[in-house]
Amino acid sequence: MSLEEQEMQKQIHDWSMADGNHMPVPGSNNKKLNDAQQKAIDELLKQDAEAEAEKTPEQKKQESEEAKEKLVTARVKMLFNQPFFGNIACRLQLKDVTDDGWCPTAATDGRHFFYNRNFVNSLNIQQNVFLVGHEIGHCIYEHFLRVGDRNKQYWNMAGVYKINGMLVREKIGEIIDQVKICYDEKYNTDDWYTENVYDDLESNQAPIRMTLDVHLDVEGEGEDGKPCQGSNGDGEDGEGKGKGKKPTISKDDAKAISDELKNAVIQAAQSVGAGNVPGEIQRIVGQLTEPKMDWKALIRVSLESNMKSDFTFMTPNRKSQFNNVVLPAMAKEHMIDVGIGIDVSGSIHDEDTQAFLSEVQGVMDQFGSYRIRVWCFDTQVSGFDEFTHDDGRSISEFQMTGGGGTDFECNWSFMKDNDIEPDQFIMFTDGEPWRSWGDPDYCDTLFLIKNNYSKPEAPFGQSVYYEDKQAA
């Protein structure tokens, strides 16, 4: 390694380790921080380019071959020692993008493993195993497809914390210390997934850290919602549209890549056997392969399981008056009592809520005697209303209120404080609690989860996933 390259590596190391790399994030200064980070990255890439300019084509070719050989060796080691990860690693096309001027370390779009040969050559084989494992983690968790409208810096950090914790826990390679990576032992357990790591970082205004790799964006979803520039990395000689422009993923490709990655995860798991797949990834495979009961059917079955069939004419069903016929209602001692909490902090829309409430109403009307207590929640309960079989009202009258953070526990606190102990509690949510999912021992609970990016599973009760047929 030349003196220039050694100096460049030292500067990369010193900058990434320095306290200045841990920048606070007051909301009004996000753009300044983005600019500061990008300026630092641009400076590193500039130094990289200057060092490369001093090399002959033969030197570049030799170093590129050395880097590729290291990565191939790392993938072979993974095939023997971590066959599940090795299978997925071998489907990514290796692409040296050092000369393109946008990648100081590594990146992936789900189809390619982009890398900077100088960074790869600075790592030993086990560290390259870790690097390959890191990019595979992004593929397995589909981080670039799940960001939504979240703060991208915190989302990228959350994904990296999640992946690095998994790699350390599964003993995949050797942790990289040439740069300071996002790693915290507290995120190593299965209780943490990317969404609630993100919530933890954002709520605590954690210092921004540089991530190990470059994170690509879906077209039109760059920083601050601005379109990203570049190409998909498949141009001639691996070059994008303009030197220094990182690739983006088109929206059409994003859907296709998502399907490809799901199939790759399933095939890799099937080829190596369950014993060679980490537990949390086994759950992902299960979500992709196990048939799930339609949410409407599961809610119907769940509610019907609480019903009794004893009827009386002593308290007729008031809704029957509109049909000029008197229908019996259930005896009061057999009335079903349902509590419904609607999460207004995430991706639950009014039309989704109305479809859900209409389904509940339809089931309840079949059985005559009921009480439905429904409310909204974010960090506290709001908009409480009550509907019964004999009040002549429709649950479609319910009005959504609130909007903010997420605290599932406020539902149980509200029920306990108001002596509400339903036969069935149904929570309609995006499945991203701030802390706990709630009290597992208080009442029979069903979580109806609508989440476009993942399928979180509650640690108690039943979890069923809301599928918007129209959106699919």
Report the alpha-carbon distance of residue 187 to residue 89 in Å, rounded. 24
Which position has the higher pLDDT, 148 or 433? Answer: 433
Predicted TM-score (pTM) above 0.95: no
pLDDT at 228: 39
Q: How far is CA 349 from CA 340, 433, 453, in A?
A: 16, 18, 16
> Once rounded to an integer, what is the mean pLDDT over residues 415-435?
89
pLDDT at 113: 95
> Once rounded to an integer, what is the mean pLDDT over residues 386-396?
84
Contact 40, 11 (CB under 8 A): no
What is the residue-averaged pLDDT of the chain?
A: 76
Q: Which span out of 33-42, 173-182, 233-242, 410-419 was modeled with the highest average pLDDT?
A: 410-419
And the tokens for 420? Answer: 């509400």
pLDDT bin (cut points 50, 70, 90) of residue 319 is very low
And the tokens for 462? Answer: 């039943």
Q: Among the listed ranges 10-19, 85-94, 125-134, 386-395, which one has the minimum average pLDDT value?
A: 10-19
Which position has the higher pLDDT, 98 or 454? Answer: 98
Please give the distance of CA 76 from its chain centroid, rounded to a whole number.
29
Which position has the higher pLDDT, 65 or 177? Answer: 65
pLDDT at 179: 78
pLDDT at 151: 86
Which position has the higher pLDDT, 43 or 398? Answer: 398
pLDDT at 263: 85
pLDDT at 65: 95
Report the alpha-carbon distance of residue 387 to residue 372 in Å, rounded. 5
Report the alpha-carbon distance of residue 93 to residue 206 in Å, rounded. 35
Q: How far is CA 363 from CA 14, 23, 241, 305, 358, in A?
A: 64, 53, 56, 12, 9
* 3-state SS record for 236-281: HHHCCCCCCCCCEECHHHHHHHHHHHHHHHHHHHHHHCHHHCCHHH
pLDDT at 413: 95
Encode pLDDT of 120-168 as tens digits. Answer: 999 999 999 999 999 999 888 888 777 777 888 888 899 999 999 989 9
- ∠ CA 128-134-137 to the nearest 5 degrees? 145
**Does residue 290 sit in helix, strand or coil?**
coil
Which position has the higher pLDDT, 242 or 420? Answer: 420
- Does the pLDDT of residue 77 top 60, yes or no? yes
Dihedral sign, CA of 48, 97, 213, 26?
Answer: positive
> Once rounded to an integer, what is the mean pLDDT over residues 426-438?
87
Amino acid at 371: R
pLDDT bin (cut points 50, 70, 90) of residue 365 is confident
And the tokens for 263? Answer: 């199939």
pLDDT at 19: 38
pLDDT bin (cut points 50, 70, 90) of residue 16 is very low
Closest CA relative to residue 303, chosen from 360, 350, 375, 265: 360
pLDDT at 303: 72
Q: Which span out of 163-172, 183-192, 312-321, 368-377 was modeled with the highest average pLDDT?
A: 163-172
pLDDT at 229: 39
pLDDT at 412: 95
Dihedral sign, CA of 145, 471, 374, 401?
Answer: positive
> Once rounded to an integer, what is the mean pLDDT over residues 343-347?
75
Amino acid at 411: N
- Does the pLDDT of residue 187 top 90, yes or no? no
* 294 contacts: CB under 8 Å, gap ≥ 6: 467
Q: Among the listed ranges 22-31, 181-190, 394-403, 430-439, which one has the minimum average pLDDT value?
A: 22-31
Report the alpha-carbon distance of residue 146 to residue 456 in Å, rounded. 13
Report the alpha-carbon distance of residue 74 to residue 92 in Å, rounded. 13
Encode pLDDT of 257-274 as tens digits. Answer: 888 888 888 888 888 876
Encode pLDDT of 17-70 as tens digits. Answer: 443 333 333 333 444 445 555 666 666 677 767 677 777 889 889 999 999 999
**Does residue 55 sit in helix, strand or coil?**
coil
